[in-house]
Chain A
Amino acid sequence: MIRIRITFAKTSAMRYTGHLDLHRAWERTFRRAGLPLAYSEGFNPHPRLNLASALPLGFTGAGEVIDAWLEQDLPLSEIQAALQRALPPGLQVTQIETVDLRLPALQTELEASEYNLTFLEPFPELADRVQALLSALSLPRQRRERDYDLRPLILDIQILPPDGLDRPQLNVRLVAREGATGRPEEVIAALGYDPQLVRVHRNRLLFRVG
């Protein structure tokens, strides 16, 4: 048995695929690739795949991470070539490595997520609003009828130059630990903007080092 760690991009139509469906898309990719995915024991075996972090519907990602367990020890180059042939449109492998079977689950190692936000409509007050957000000591918000403070979940917000279509852009880094996850749509709402009019792209996942 080997455990491989794949960094991948999720783009185009794939961004409308939710977490469970993404899991299934990966399973089918491995099956098309003819790679011997390991399955759990028991009455209802399921493939041993482990996604680091759910990417909400509609978001694209450049540095998503998944672990997969294979029954057979195959050279990485072979695995990569087989996956490359089998990937659906909207999934691209950017990095692949073998990792120790004993490493803890990816989710438990996740520390933070870094996003790029693109605002589809002009947003002249953007700089002021960002400044206000960052200088606030707390940002009380409510999600699913639960009160919480968004401010400690925001690690950093930087204003980026506008994109090719002259749309304002932000780079946002949010805490992404189990039980303490900052959500980009909450940041957007806190900025006083309609989250449905923002493209969210997750640049990378930041894991605990060492």
Chain B
Amino acid sequence: MHTPVEIEAFLERTLLKVQKPARYTGGEINQVVKDWNHIPTKIALVFPDLYDLGMSNLGLAILYELLNQRPDVLAERAYAPWSDMEAELRAASIPLYSLETKHPLAAFDIIGFTLPYETLYTNALNILDLAVIPLFSAQRNEGHPLVIAGGHAAYNPEPMYPFIDAFVIGEGEEVIEEIVDIQQAWKRCGASRQDLLLSLAQIWGVYVPSLYEAHYHPDGVLSHLEARFPEAQLPVLKRIVGKLPPAPTHFIVPYIDTVHNRAPVEITRGCTRGCRFCHAGIVSRPVRERSVTEIVETIEQALGNTGYEEVGLLSLSSSDYTDIVKLVEAVSQRFVGRHLSISLPSLRIESFSVDLMDALKDSRRSGFTLAPEAATERMRDIINKPVSTRQLLDTARAIYSRGWHNLKLYFMIGHPSETIEDVQAISDLCKAVLAEGRKLIGRRAQVTAGVSTFIPKPHTPFQWVPCDTLEQITIKLELLKRSLRGPGLKLNWNSPEDTMLEAWLSRGDRRMAEVVYHAWLGGAKFDAWKDRFRFDIWQQAFATVGLDPAFYTHRLRPLEELLPWDHISTGVRKKYLADDYLRSQQGVTRDDCRERCYACGILPSFAGLRRLNTGDVWQCPEVKSPQGMAERLHPLAINK
């Protein structure tokens, strides 16, 4: 295996030949370097895309800080090299290495991928290949690292099942520690790799795909997933933390500019709104909040540790944070005059949001963003994002009259039951908004419409519906491109092919893994990059494997069909999702569940945790009934 000295020597000769060499050097402030020879467990945390993107991933930042607090663990980072660097690595037969100590990834005990979105899959394979680690779990032996993966895409792990030894379903903060403990015990006793996998399978929130076998009906629909070992849980319930742990504050500050080059502070996790298209809104339930005091202290510490000039207050819906007014007051008082920009994304469409942004004196160059998601009230009721057009126009007026010139509006096309009139309405609404802006600030007013295409994501009330076809998407986009033009109007859209790939990968079953593998063999990587994505490679991969992509994306699935991700439980019942889906077909909305509990299933799934974390820490109702026989703190106990 290559030594860090050899890798350093390679870098010395290579870095000036590649773009942005600082992607590959490490050595930034707040990176943690421990004594390799005296730490028993070494973990490489990998974001399978460029450093420039991966550095802003909060999930890995949390795990990096948490793991490095353990004296018996070191955690280092690795990212996907850009093609110029990949060519240099391959030409010199140098394996992919960690940024901190320049050890080859194969020298680590655990490789932990984050998979926040599906278009990273081929990059993950490419990284294993660059690291000279066998791609398939079945080909790895006791001498290879344990390869684990988590992140939002892991809620449907099946398209990656043969490549990953164990998936973490849900929140990683606690479960990663348990994985480390098990791995250490296994290493000490020198048992087989299979023994390690069987032990891991018993951790709450860990899914070991090799312990299961999928069976299909002749028509290709999943018949059942068989647990081949008693240790294999069925279903696998996601892991959550009862209370958000202290937020990370020792962010590594990159030397080069990166996406979201700022200190992120998660103010809440989860969302009570129940937008029917929203994957994050379901999988990250229940809502747990940090207190105003904790958030302000976290910002203070993060600024002291990093020197960042920008803070991002992160949540799925900032307006819904219980003490949002107090938070904004506290933040603006404490940090005024420090030349700091504070962003508060995901605000509701109401003029109060403008007050909030005004109080934060957020930099106005970037514009104000609202996400109506659909342009007609009918359609917004169907997707359960009920906002009246009048309210939207009122908000737009408030935005323009308070000093913002550019209003960014996010929409989706392809919602269930969408007609061409609903698409035309996007253009009409943007023009109506612009007209309001013109009245207030004249020609300076701008509207930027961002249009993406709806993908029926697993675990959402829309998981049964088909996607628009390429042709449908193209027709709708053409309409928008024709009508949404003129001074003050700008349209951004996702290519239909990008949408298709994301849809296939997010809705795939185990057979999709072969497509992913063949696409990678065919040269697919950086699929999330417009200029790198090759649709033809994926079409060819489907042909090679003999699968029909339409089976995954253009088929209305019956409610009783077993879905490839049904063995993964988010805690929300399938029955609840189905009810909500039927309501959508009648245009019936569901209120914010803070107002009233709709029994989605989260509380019975995690009653023990709720009982331990009383009060407003959770936004679900308190569990008042006495503890029943079936209820345990550890949900797995139910199975035993």
CB of B526 to closest CB in A, whole Å = 22
At the interface, yes or no: B228 with Cβ under 8 Å from chain A? Answer: no
Partner of B16, one of A28, A86, A196: A196
Docked Cα-Cα span, A45 to B339, in Å, equals 8
A residues near B (Cβ < 8 Å) are: 12-14, 16-18, 20-21, 24-25, 27-34, 39, 44-45, 47, 57-58, 86, 88-90, 120, 196-197
Knowing A21-B255, A28-B306, A31-B308, the reply to whether A196 touches B17 (Cβ < 8 A) is: yes
If A16-B22, A58-B21 touch, whether A31 touches B307 (CB-CB below 8 Å) is yes
Q: What residues on A are CB-neighbors of B16 within 8 Å?
A: 57-58, 196
Chain B contacts for A30, CB-based, 8 A? 307
- From known contacts A57-B16, A58-B16, A196-B16, infer whether A13 and B309 are also in contact, taking CB-CB under 8 Å: no
Chain A residue numbers with a CB within 8 Å of B304 are: 32, 34
Chain B: CB-nearest residue to A46: B339
- Taking Cβ atoms with an 8 Å cutoff, the residues of B that contact A are 12-13, 15-17, 21-22, 25-29, 253, 255-257, 303-309, 339, 365
Contact B25 A13 (CB under 8 A): yes
Whole-angstrom CA separation of A125 from B15 in the bound complex: 27
Q: How far is the CA of A39 from the CA of B340 in the complex (A)?
A: 12
Write the chain B residue with the least CB distance to A196.
B16
Q: Please, how many angstroms separate the alpha-carbon atoms of A158 and B66 in the complex?
A: 52
- Asked whether A90 and B27 contact (CB < 8 A) given A21-B256, A45-B339, A120-B13, the answer is yes
A88 partner, pick from B13, B25, B26, B253, beta carbons under 8 A: B253
A193 and B29 CA atoms in complex are apart in Å by 35
Among all A-B residue pairs, the 5 with the closest Cβ atoms: A13-B27, A28-B307, A31-B307, A32-B307, A88-B29
> Is there contact, CB below 8 Å, between B29 and A89?
yes
Could you tell me if A89 and B28 are in contact, using CB atoms closer than 8 angstroms?
yes
A24 contacts which chain B residues (CB < 8 A)? 257
Q: What are the residues of chain B within 8 A of A25 when measuring CB–CB?
A: 255
Q: How far is the CA of A16 from the CA of B19 in the complex (A)?
A: 10
Q: Which residues of B contact A33 (CB under 8 A)?
A: 307
Chain A residue numbers with a CB within 8 Å of B28 are 13, 88-89
Chain B CB count within 10 A is highest, among A86, A89, A90, for A89
CB distance from B396 to the nearest CB of A (A): 23
Q: How far is the CB of B267 from chain A (nearest CB, A)?
A: 22
Note all chain A residues with C-beta closer than 8 A to B305.
32
- Taken together as a complex, chains A and B put the C-alpha atoms of A196 and B16 apart, in Å, by 7
Give the Cβ gap from B362 to chain A, nearest Cβ, in Å.
Answer: 13
Q: In angstroms, how far is the closest chain B Cβ from the Cβ of A27?
A: 7
A90 contacts which chain B residues (CB < 8 A)? 27, 255
Inter-chain contacts of A86 with B (CB < 8 A): 307
What is the distance, in angstroms, from B76's C-beta to the closest C-beta of chain A?
Answer: 14
* Residue contact B255 to A44, C-beta cutoff 8 Å: no
Residues of A within 8 A of B365 (CB): 44
- A16 cross-chain contacts in B, Cβ below 8 A: 15, 21-22, 25, 255
Q: How far is the CB of B415 from chain A (nearest CB, A)?
A: 39
Q: How far is the CA of A47 from the CA of B307 in the complex (A)?
A: 13
Interface CB pairs A-B, < 8 A, 24 = A13-B22, A13-B25, A13-B27, A13-B28, A16-B15, A16-B22, A18-B256, A21-B255, A21-B256, A27-B307, A28-B306, A31-B309, A32-B304, A32-B307, A33-B307, A39-B339, A44-B365, A57-B16, A57-B21, A58-B16, A58-B21, A88-B255, A89-B28, A90-B27
Question: Which of A45, A47, A196 has the largest number of chain B CB atoms within 10 A?
Answer: A196
Shortest distance from the beta carbon of A11 to any chain B beta carbon, whole Å: 10
A33 to B303, CA, bound (A): 10
Q: How far is the CA of A20 from the CA of B26 in the complex (A)?
A: 19
- Taking the nearest CB of chain B, how far is it from the CB of A195, in angstroms? 8
Q: A17-B256, A28-B306 are in contact. List 17 more A-B contacts (CB 8 A).
A: A12-B27, A13-B26, A13-B28, A13-B255, A16-B21, A16-B255, A21-B255, A24-B257, A25-B255, A32-B307, A45-B339, A47-B339, A58-B16, A58-B21, A89-B27, A90-B27, A197-B13
